[in-house]
Protein backbone atom coordinates (compact mmCIF):
# COMPACT_ATOMS: atom_id res chain seq x y z
CA UNK A 1 0.00 0.00 0.00
CA UNK A 2 1.48 3.31 -1.10
CA UNK A 3 1.71 5.99 1.62
CA UNK A 4 -0.64 8.91 1.05
CA UNK A 5 1.24 11.76 2.72
CA UNK A 6 4.36 13.43 1.35
CA UNK A 7 6.00 13.02 4.76
CA UNK A 8 5.57 9.23 4.71
CA UNK A 9 6.65 8.89 1.09
CA UNK A 10 9.85 10.93 1.41
CA UNK A 11 10.73 9.24 4.70
CA UNK A 12 10.19 5.80 3.18
CA UNK A 13 12.30 6.62 0.13
CA UNK A 14 15.20 7.96 2.20
CA UNK A 15 15.14 5.15 4.77
CA UNK A 16 14.82 2.39 2.15
CA UNK A 17 17.54 3.98 0.02
CA UNK A 18 19.92 4.25 2.97
CA UNK A 19 19.13 0.68 4.04
CA UNK A 20 19.87 -0.67 0.56
CA UNK A 21 23.10 1.34 0.42
CA UNK A 22 24.14 -0.01 3.83
CA UNK A 23 23.36 -3.59 2.84
CA UNK A 24 25.27 -3.26 -0.44
CA UNK A 25 28.25 -1.83 1.41
CA UNK A 26 28.09 -4.64 3.96
CA UNK A 27 27.86 -7.26 1.20
CA UNK A 28 30.80 -5.73 -0.71
CA UNK A 29 32.98 -5.58 2.42
CA UNK A 30 32.02 -9.14 3.35
CA UNK A 31 32.83 -10.39 -0.15
CA UNK A 32 36.17 -8.57 -0.28
CA UNK A 33 37.07 -9.79 3.18
CA UNK A 34 36.19 -13.36 2.21
CA UNK A 35 38.36 -13.18 -0.89
CA UNK A 36 41.28 -11.82 1.16
CA UNK A 37 40.90 -14.41 3.89
CA UNK A 38 40.63 -17.21 1.36
CA UNK A 39 43.83 -16.08 -0.29
CA UNK A 40 45.59 -15.86 3.07
CA UNK A 41 44.20 -19.22 4.13
CA UNK A 42 45.35 -20.95 0.99
CA UNK A 43 48.83 -19.45 1.09
CA UNK A 44 49.14 -20.19 4.80
CA UNK A 45 47.66 -23.67 5.06
CA UNK A 46 49.56 -25.04 2.08
CA UNK A 47 52.87 -24.02 3.61
CA UNK A 48 51.92 -25.43 7.03
CA UNK A 49 50.80 -28.74 5.53
CA UNK A 50 53.96 -28.96 3.41
CA UNK A 51 56.13 -28.19 6.46
CA UNK A 52 54.33 -30.82 8.55
CA UNK A 53 54.74 -33.47 5.82
CA UNK A 54 58.44 -32.59 5.60
CA UNK A 55 58.77 -33.05 9.38
CA UNK A 56 57.02 -36.44 9.24
CA UNK A 57 59.27 -37.46 6.37
CA UNK A 58 62.43 -36.71 8.38
CA UNK A 59 61.22 -38.49 11.52
CA UNK A 60 61.90 -42.18 12.04
CA UNK A 61 58.85 -44.31 11.17
CA UNK A 62 58.45 -45.39 14.83
CA UNK A 63 58.17 -41.77 16.07
CA UNK A 64 55.75 -40.45 13.45
CA UNK A 65 52.60 -41.51 15.33
CA UNK A 66 53.64 -39.49 18.40
CA UNK A 67 53.99 -36.32 16.32
CA UNK A 68 50.55 -36.46 14.69
CA UNK A 69 48.82 -34.71 17.62
CA UNK A 70 51.57 -32.06 17.79
CA UNK A 71 51.19 -31.21 14.11
CA UNK A 72 47.37 -31.08 14.19
CA UNK A 73 45.70 -27.67 13.69
CA UNK A 74 42.12 -26.39 13.55
CA UNK A 75 41.88 -26.76 9.78
CA UNK A 76 44.07 -29.79 9.10
CA UNK A 77 45.32 -33.01 10.68
CA UNK A 78 47.26 -36.13 9.62
CA UNK A 79 46.77 -39.90 9.79
CA UNK A 80 49.18 -42.67 8.93
CA UNK A 81 48.01 -45.27 6.43
CA UNK A 82 46.09 -45.35 3.18
CA UNK A 83 42.59 -46.25 2.05
CA UNK A 84 41.32 -42.90 0.81
CA UNK A 85 38.07 -43.21 -1.17
CA UNK A 86 35.51 -40.82 -2.48
CA UNK A 87 34.73 -38.51 -5.41
CA UNK A 88 37.19 -35.91 -6.65
CA UNK A 89 36.68 -32.25 -5.65
CA UNK A 90 33.50 -30.90 -7.27
CA UNK A 91 33.27 -27.15 -6.70
CA UNK A 92 35.66 -24.61 -8.16
CA UNK A 93 36.72 -23.45 -4.69
CA UNK A 94 37.46 -27.03 -3.58
CA UNK A 95 39.50 -27.70 -6.72
CA UNK A 96 41.44 -24.48 -6.23
CA UNK A 97 42.02 -25.38 -2.58
CA UNK A 98 43.22 -28.88 -3.51
CA UNK A 99 45.50 -27.58 -6.28
CA UNK A 100 47.16 -25.13 -3.89
CA UNK A 101 47.93 -27.92 -1.39
CA UNK A 102 49.14 -30.32 -4.07
CA UNK A 103 51.51 -27.70 -5.50
CA UNK A 104 52.89 -26.95 -2.03
CA UNK A 105 53.54 -30.67 -1.32
CA UNK A 106 55.98 -30.97 -4.22
CA UNK A 107 58.26 -33.02 -4.43
CA UNK A 108 56.20 -35.47 -2.35
CA UNK A 109 53.97 -37.71 -4.43
CA UNK A 110 50.26 -37.07 -4.10
CA UNK A 111 48.50 -40.36 -4.69
CA UNK A 112 44.86 -39.30 -4.51
CA UNK A 113 42.68 -36.29 -3.66
CA UNK A 114 39.00 -36.86 -2.76
CA UNK A 115 36.07 -34.77 -1.45
CA UNK A 116 35.15 -35.83 2.09
CA UNK A 117 32.49 -33.20 2.73
CA UNK A 118 31.28 -29.82 1.62
CA UNK A 119 34.48 -28.14 2.86
CA UNK A 120 36.75 -31.15 3.62
CA UNK A 121 39.44 -32.78 1.50
CA UNK A 122 41.35 -36.02 1.98
CA UNK A 123 44.76 -36.11 0.35
CA UNK A 124 46.91 -39.26 0.31
CA UNK A 125 50.63 -38.46 0.21
CA UNK A 126 53.54 -40.88 -0.19
CA UNK A 127 56.67 -40.09 1.82
CA UNK A 128 60.19 -40.68 0.47
CA UNK A 129 60.38 -44.07 2.21
CA UNK A 130 57.07 -45.09 0.62
CA UNK A 131 54.95 -44.72 3.76
CA UNK A 132 51.40 -43.37 3.11
CA UNK A 133 50.07 -40.35 5.01
CA UNK A 134 46.52 -39.01 4.76
CA UNK A 135 46.00 -35.25 5.09
CA UNK A 136 42.57 -34.12 6.34
CA UNK A 137 42.28 -30.47 5.21
CA UNK A 138 39.27 -28.26 5.98
CA UNK A 139 38.41 -24.98 4.31
CA UNK A 140 37.32 -22.55 7.04
CA UNK A 141 34.86 -19.80 6.07
CA UNK A 142 34.99 -16.18 7.07
CA UNK A 143 33.71 -15.71 10.62
CA UNK A 144 31.26 -12.86 11.20
CA UNK A 145 30.86 -11.59 14.73
CA UNK A 146 27.35 -11.04 16.09
CA UNK A 147 28.16 -7.49 17.10
CA UNK A 148 28.71 -6.55 13.45
CA UNK A 149 25.07 -7.25 12.64
CA UNK A 150 23.90 -5.31 15.71
CA UNK A 151 26.06 -2.38 14.67
CA UNK A 152 24.46 -2.51 11.21
CA UNK A 153 20.98 -2.48 12.74
CA UNK A 154 21.97 0.42 15.00
CA UNK A 155 23.28 2.38 12.01
CA UNK A 156 20.02 1.83 10.14
CA UNK A 157 18.04 3.00 13.19
CA UNK A 158 20.14 6.16 13.51
CA UNK A 159 19.75 6.88 9.79
CA UNK A 160 15.98 6.32 10.01
CA UNK A 161 15.65 8.75 12.93
CA UNK A 162 17.78 11.37 11.16
CA UNK A 163 15.74 10.94 7.97
CA UNK A 164 12.52 11.31 9.96
CA UNK A 165 13.70 14.58 11.53
CA UNK A 166 14.96 15.89 8.18
CA UNK A 167 11.73 15.13 6.34
CA UNK A 168 9.66 16.51 9.21
CA UNK A 169 11.67 19.73 9.08
CA UNK A 170 10.95 20.01 5.35
CA UNK A 171 7.27 19.03 5.35
CA UNK A 172 6.12 20.86 8.50
CA UNK A 173 6.02 24.28 6.75
CA UNK A 174 3.94 22.70 3.97
CA UNK A 175 1.49 21.39 6.56
CA UNK A 176 1.24 24.83 8.19
CA UNK A 177 0.72 26.43 4.78
CA UNK A 178 -2.04 23.94 3.90
CA UNK A 179 -3.74 24.49 7.26
CA UNK A 180 -3.64 28.25 6.84
CA UNK A 181 -5.11 27.92 3.35
CA UNK A 182 -7.92 25.68 4.67
CA UNK A 183 -8.72 28.21 7.39
CA UNK A 184 -9.10 30.97 4.81
CA UNK A 185 -12.90 31.13 4.73
CA UNK A 186 -15.30 33.23 2.67
CA UNK A 187 -14.53 36.26 4.83
CA UNK A 188 -10.83 35.94 3.83
CA UNK A 189 -9.79 36.55 7.43
CA UNK A 190 -7.27 33.75 7.79
CA UNK A 191 -4.45 33.71 10.32
CA UNK A 192 -1.05 34.90 9.19
CA UNK A 193 1.86 32.48 9.16
CA UNK A 194 4.89 33.12 11.32
CA UNK A 195 7.62 34.51 9.05
CA UNK A 196 10.46 32.59 10.65
CA UNK A 197 12.63 29.55 10.09
CA UNK A 198 14.92 28.83 7.11
CA UNK A 199 15.10 31.50 4.43
CA UNK A 200 12.96 29.52 1.97
CA UNK A 201 10.26 28.86 4.59
CA UNK A 202 10.22 32.47 5.77
CA UNK A 203 9.99 33.69 2.17
CA UNK A 204 7.05 31.36 1.46
CA UNK A 205 5.28 32.56 4.63
CA UNK A 206 5.78 36.22 3.67
CA UNK A 207 4.47 35.53 0.15
CA UNK A 208 1.42 33.69 1.52
CA UNK A 209 0.61 36.46 4.00
CA UNK A 210 0.94 39.08 1.28
CA UNK A 211 -1.31 37.04 -0.99
CA UNK A 212 -3.95 36.80 1.75
CA UNK A 213 -3.89 40.56 2.28
CA UNK A 214 -4.15 41.28 -1.46
CA UNK A 215 -7.06 38.88 -1.97
CA UNK A 216 -8.85 40.26 1.10
CA UNK A 217 -8.36 43.80 -0.21
CA UNK A 218 -9.68 42.93 -3.67
CA UNK A 219 -12.73 41.16 -2.24
CA UNK A 220 -13.44 43.93 0.25
CA UNK A 221 -13.36 46.47 -2.58
CA UNK A 222 -15.74 44.40 -4.70
CA UNK A 223 -18.12 43.89 -1.79
CA UNK A 224 -18.12 47.58 -0.97
CA UNK A 225 -18.86 48.47 -4.59
CA UNK A 226 -21.72 45.95 -4.73
CA UNK A 227 -23.16 47.16 -1.43
CA UNK A 228 -22.83 50.82 -2.42
CA UNK A 229 -24.53 50.33 -5.78
CA UNK A 230 -27.32 48.26 -4.24
CA UNK A 231 -27.82 50.81 -1.49
CA UNK A 232 -27.75 53.85 -3.74
CA UNK A 233 -30.25 52.33 -6.15
CA UNK A 234 -32.92 52.25 -3.46
CA UNK A 235 -33.36 56.06 -3.53
CA UNK A 236 -34.16 56.40 -7.27
CA UNK A 237 -36.35 53.28 -7.07
CA UNK A 238 -38.35 54.90 -4.28
CA UNK A 239 -38.76 58.14 -6.29
CA UNK A 240 -39.84 56.17 -9.36
CA UNK A 241 -42.39 54.28 -7.26
CA UNK A 242 -43.87 57.56 -6.01
CA UNK A 243 -44.10 58.87 -9.54
CA UNK A 244 -45.70 55.63 -10.66
CA UNK A 245 -48.40 55.97 -8.04
CA UNK A 246 -49.28 59.37 -9.56
CA UNK A 247 -49.80 57.95 -13.06
CA UNK A 248 -53.37 58.03 -14.50
CA UNK A 249 -53.03 54.98 -16.75
CA UNK A 250 -53.61 52.01 -14.43
CA UNK A 251 -52.33 49.49 -16.98
CA UNK A 252 -48.99 51.24 -17.39
CA UNK A 253 -48.92 51.91 -13.68
CA UNK A 254 -49.19 48.17 -12.96
CA UNK A 255 -46.40 47.33 -15.38
CA UNK A 256 -44.07 49.99 -13.93
CA UNK A 257 -44.85 48.85 -10.38
CA UNK A 258 -43.98 45.24 -11.27
CA UNK A 259 -40.67 46.32 -12.77
CA UNK A 260 -39.87 48.47 -9.75
CA UNK A 261 -40.72 45.59 -7.38
CA UNK A 262 -38.34 43.34 -9.31
CA UNK A 263 -35.63 45.99 -9.15
CA UNK A 264 -36.22 46.48 -5.43
CA UNK A 265 -36.00 42.73 -4.81
CA UNK A 266 -32.77 42.56 -6.80
CA UNK A 267 -31.26 45.46 -4.85
CA UNK A 268 -32.35 43.95 -1.54
CA UNK A 269 -30.84 40.58 -2.44
CA UNK A 270 -27.68 42.31 -3.63
CA UNK A 271 -27.23 44.01 -0.27
CA UNK A 272 -27.86 40.72 1.52
CA UNK A 273 -25.34 38.89 -0.65
CA UNK A 274 -22.77 41.62 -0.05
CA UNK A 275 -23.24 41.18 3.69
CA UNK A 276 -22.72 37.42 3.44
CA UNK A 277 -19.40 37.98 1.65
CA UNK A 278 -18.12 39.68 4.78
CA UNK A 279 -18.37 36.37 6.59
CA UNK A 280 -20.37 35.04 9.52
CA UNK A 281 -20.26 37.63 12.27
CA UNK A 282 -23.11 35.99 14.20
CA UNK A 283 -21.77 34.08 17.22
CA UNK A 284 -22.86 30.45 17.56
CA UNK A 285 -25.20 29.57 20.40
CA UNK A 286 -27.20 26.61 21.71
CA UNK A 287 -30.69 26.43 20.20
CA UNK A 288 -33.58 23.99 20.04
CA UNK A 289 -33.41 23.03 16.37
CA UNK A 290 -36.75 21.21 16.40
CA UNK A 291 -38.52 24.31 17.72
CA UNK A 292 -36.71 26.49 15.18
CA UNK A 293 -37.79 24.32 12.25
CA UNK A 294 -41.34 23.95 13.54
CA UNK A 295 -41.70 27.75 13.85
CA UNK A 296 -40.49 28.19 10.28
CA UNK A 297 -43.03 25.64 9.00
CA UNK A 298 -45.76 27.40 11.02
CA UNK A 299 -44.84 30.73 9.39
CA UNK A 300 -45.32 29.19 5.95
CA UNK A 301 -48.68 27.73 7.01
CA UNK A 302 -49.79 31.16 8.22
CA UNK A 303 -48.90 32.51 4.78
CA UNK A 304 -51.04 29.83 3.11
CA UNK A 305 -48.15 27.68 1.88
CA UNK A 306 -47.85 24.01 2.73
CA UNK A 307 -44.44 22.77 3.89
CA UNK A 308 -44.32 19.31 5.51
CA UNK A 309 -41.77 18.63 8.25
CA UNK A 310 -40.51 15.06 8.68
CA UNK A 311 -38.12 13.81 11.36
CA UNK A 312 -36.79 15.25 14.60
CA UNK A 313 -33.37 15.98 16.08
CA UNK A 314 -34.38 15.32 19.67
CA UNK A 315 -32.01 17.75 21.36
CA UNK A 316 -30.35 21.16 21.19
CA UNK A 317 -27.55 21.99 18.77
CA UNK A 318 -24.86 24.67 18.70
CA UNK A 319 -25.12 26.78 15.54
CA UNK A 320 -25.75 30.26 14.16
CA UNK A 321 -29.58 30.33 14.23
CA UNK A 322 -30.16 33.41 12.04
CA UNK A 323 -27.82 32.14 9.35
CA UNK A 324 -29.42 28.67 9.48
CA UNK A 325 -32.89 30.22 9.26
CA UNK A 326 -31.88 32.29 6.24
CA UNK A 327 -30.41 29.26 4.48
CA UNK A 328 -33.50 27.11 5.00
CA UNK A 329 -35.87 29.97 4.08
CA UNK A 330 -34.03 30.55 0.80
CA UNK A 331 -34.12 26.84 -0.02
CA UNK A 332 -37.80 26.48 0.85
CA UNK A 333 -38.71 29.62 -1.11
CA UNK A 334 -36.84 28.26 -4.10
CA UNK A 335 -38.71 24.94 -3.79
CA UNK A 336 -42.09 26.70 -3.52
CA UNK A 337 -41.40 28.60 -6.76
CA UNK A 338 -41.14 25.45 -8.82
CA UNK A 339 -43.08 22.77 -6.90
CA UNK A 340 -46.45 22.33 -5.27
CA UNK A 341 -45.40 19.74 -2.67
CA UNK A 342 -42.44 20.76 -0.48
CA UNK A 343 -41.08 18.58 2.29
CA UNK A 344 -38.39 19.28 4.88
CA UNK A 345 -36.72 16.06 6.06
CA UNK A 346 -34.48 16.21 9.14
CA UNK A 347 -32.10 13.51 10.37
CA UNK A 348 -28.88 13.08 12.32
CA UNK A 349 -26.19 11.11 10.50
CA UNK A 350 -22.72 10.38 11.98
CA UNK A 351 -22.73 13.42 14.25
CA UNK A 352 -23.99 15.75 11.52
CA UNK A 353 -27.35 17.43 11.12
CA UNK A 354 -28.81 16.86 7.66
CA UNK A 355 -31.76 18.95 6.47
CA UNK A 356 -33.16 18.03 3.04
CA UNK A 357 -35.75 20.21 1.28
CA UNK A 358 -37.49 18.35 -1.56
CA UNK A 359 -40.03 19.47 -4.15
CA UNK A 360 -41.90 17.93 -7.09
CA UNK A 361 -40.83 20.56 -9.60
CA UNK A 362 -38.99 20.15 -12.90
CA UNK A 363 -35.56 19.86 -11.27
CA UNK A 364 -32.34 21.28 -12.68
CA UNK A 365 -30.28 19.96 -15.60
CA UNK A 366 -27.40 17.87 -14.18
CA UNK A 367 -24.76 20.04 -15.84
CA UNK A 368 -26.12 23.14 -14.06
CA UNK A 369 -26.44 21.82 -10.49
CA UNK A 370 -23.23 23.57 -9.42
CA UNK A 371 -23.68 26.64 -11.63
CA UNK A 372 -26.98 27.65 -9.97
CA UNK A 373 -25.08 28.19 -6.70
CA UNK A 374 -23.22 31.08 -8.30
CA UNK A 375 -24.62 34.62 -7.94
CA UNK A 376 -27.04 35.94 -10.58
CA UNK A 377 -27.21 32.58 -12.36
CA UNK A 378 -30.60 31.24 -13.43
CA UNK A 379 -31.51 28.26 -15.55
CA UNK A 380 -33.15 29.04 -18.86
CA UNK A 381 -36.51 27.56 -17.82
CA UNK A 382 -36.86 30.06 -14.93
CA UNK A 383 -36.25 33.30 -16.77
CA UNK A 384 -39.71 34.77 -16.34
CA UNK A 385 -41.35 37.19 -13.98
CA UNK A 386 -43.18 34.63 -11.89
CA UNK A 387 -40.34 32.21 -11.14
CA UNK A 388 -37.18 33.88 -12.35
CA UNK A 389 -36.18 35.55 -9.08
CA UNK A 390 -32.91 37.41 -8.77
CA UNK A 391 -30.50 34.52 -9.07
CA UNK A 392 -29.12 35.25 -5.60
CA UNK A 393 -31.23 33.06 -3.31
CA UNK A 394 -29.19 29.88 -3.73
CA UNK A 395 -25.94 31.87 -3.88
CA UNK A 396 -26.69 33.50 -0.53
CA UNK A 397 -27.62 30.13 0.99
CA UNK A 398 -24.41 28.58 -0.34
CA UNK A 399 -22.30 31.48 0.93
CA UNK A 400 -23.83 31.36 4.41
CA UNK A 401 -23.47 27.57 4.57
CA UNK A 402 -19.78 27.80 3.71
CA UNK A 403 -19.24 30.53 6.28
CA UNK A 404 -20.76 28.43 9.08
CA UNK A 405 -18.91 25.23 8.16
CA UNK A 406 -21.85 23.49 6.47
CA UNK A 407 -22.16 21.85 3.06
CA UNK A 408 -24.95 22.71 0.62
CA UNK A 409 -25.57 20.40 -2.32
CA UNK A 410 -28.33 19.96 -4.91
CA UNK A 411 -29.56 16.61 -6.24
CA UNK A 412 -32.19 15.67 -8.80
CA UNK A 413 -34.65 13.10 -7.43
CA UNK A 414 -35.35 9.88 -9.30
CA UNK A 415 -39.09 10.38 -8.89
CA UNK A 416 -38.82 13.96 -10.17
CA UNK A 417 -38.09 17.26 -8.52
CA UNK A 418 -35.07 18.64 -6.68
CA UNK A 419 -33.51 17.93 -3.29
CA UNK A 420 -31.49 20.68 -1.62
CA UNK A 421 -29.42 19.12 1.16
CA UNK A 422 -27.53 20.98 3.86
CA UNK A 423 -25.23 19.02 6.20
CA UNK A 424 -23.59 20.64 9.20
CA UNK A 425 -21.89 19.53 12.45
CA UNK A 426 -24.09 19.35 15.52
CA UNK A 427 -21.52 21.18 17.65
CA UNK A 428 -19.60 24.29 16.61
CA UNK A 429 -16.93 26.31 18.34
CA UNK A 430 -18.67 28.71 20.73
CA UNK A 431 -15.60 30.92 20.78
CA UNK A 432 -15.53 31.49 17.04
Q: Report pLDDT for 391.
A: 67
Q: Which CATH number is 252's domain given? A: 1.10.287.130
Q: What's the first-to-final CA gap in the chain, in angstroms? A: 39
> Which pLDDT band, with edges at 50, 70 and 90, does 380 fall under?
low
Q: Which CATH number is 332's domain given? A: 3.30.565.10
Quick one: 134 and 39 in the same domain?
yes
Residue-number span of the structural domain to which 206 is assigned:
190-271
Quick one: 227 and 110 in the same domain?
no
Widest Cα–Cα separation across the chain? 155
Q: Give tens-digit pLDDT for 350-364.
A: 778 899 999 988 888
| 221 or 308, greater pLDDT | 308
Of 271, 297, 322, which one is at a domain's C-terminal end? 271
Q: Give tens-digit pLDDT for 247-275.
A: 777 777 788 878 787 777 777 766 666 66
Q: Give tens-digit pLDDT for 22-48.
A: 788 877 777 766 666 665 555 567 788
Quick one: 299 and 406 in the same domain?
yes
Instruction: Please give the average per-residue pLDDT across 115-143, as a whole number.
Output: 82
Percentage, residues of the chain above pLDDT 90: 5
Quick one: 208 and 316 in the same domain?
no
Q: Report pLDDT for 4.
A: 67
Cα-based distances in Å from 123 to 58, 77, 94, 96, 418: 19, 11, 12, 14, 97
Q: Residue 428: is its pLDDT beyond 60?
A: no
- Asked if residue 163 is part of any domain, the answer here is no
- Asked if residue 110 is part of any domain, the answer here is yes
- Asked if residue 145 is part of any domain, the answer here is no
DSSP string, 226-256: HHHHHHHHHHHHHHHHHHHHT-S-HHHHHHH
Task: Tell me the average pLDDT of the chain.
Answer: 79
> Which pLDDT band, with edges at 50, 70 and 90, does 397 fall under?
confident
Q: Give tens-digit pLDDT for 197-236.
A: 777 778 888 888 888 888 777 777 777 777 777 777 777 8
Quick one: 301 and 260 in the same domain?
no
- Asked if residue 151 is part of any domain, the answer here is no
Instruction: Please give the average per-residue pLDDT across 366-386, as a whole number.
Output: 69
Quick one: 97 and 202 in the same domain?
no
Q: Residue 80: is its pLDDT beyond 50?
A: yes
Q: How many domains does the chain have?
A: 3
| 135 or 27, greater pLDDT | 135
Quick one: 242 and 265 in the same domain?
yes
Instruction: Please give the average per-residue pLDDT across 71-88, as a whole number.
Output: 84
Quick one: 308 and 401 in the same domain?
yes
Q: Give tens-digit pLDDT for 2-27.
A: 666 667 777 777 878 878 887 888 77
Q: Residue 131: is its pLDDT beyond 80?
A: yes
- Asked if residue 63 is part of any domain, the answer here is yes
CA pseudo-torsion sign 225, 405, 376, 339: negative
**pTM confidence score:** 0.49
Quick one: 257 and 305 in the same domain?
no
Of 220, 238, 271, which one is at a domain's C-terminal end? 271
| 110 contacts 50 by C-beta, under 8 angstroms | no
Instruction: Please give the average per-residue pLDDT across 298-319, as a whole number.
Output: 87
* Three-state secondary structure call for residue 409: strand
Q: Tell me the H-state helices in 183-320.
A: 199-245, 250-277, 289-302
Quick one: 267 and 297 in the same domain?
no
Amino acid sequence: MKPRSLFARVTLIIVVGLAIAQLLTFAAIRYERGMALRHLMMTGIERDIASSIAILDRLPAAERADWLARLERRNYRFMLGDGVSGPPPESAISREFAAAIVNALHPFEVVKVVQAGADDLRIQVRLTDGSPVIVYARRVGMPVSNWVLWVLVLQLAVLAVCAWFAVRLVTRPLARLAKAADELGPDLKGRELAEEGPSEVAHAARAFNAMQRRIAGYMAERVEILAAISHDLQTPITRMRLRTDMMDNEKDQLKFRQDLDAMHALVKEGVTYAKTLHGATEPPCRVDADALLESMVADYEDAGQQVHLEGRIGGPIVTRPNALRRIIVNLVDNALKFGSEVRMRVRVDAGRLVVAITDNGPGIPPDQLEAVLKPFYRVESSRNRSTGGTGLGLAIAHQLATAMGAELSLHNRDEGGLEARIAMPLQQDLAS
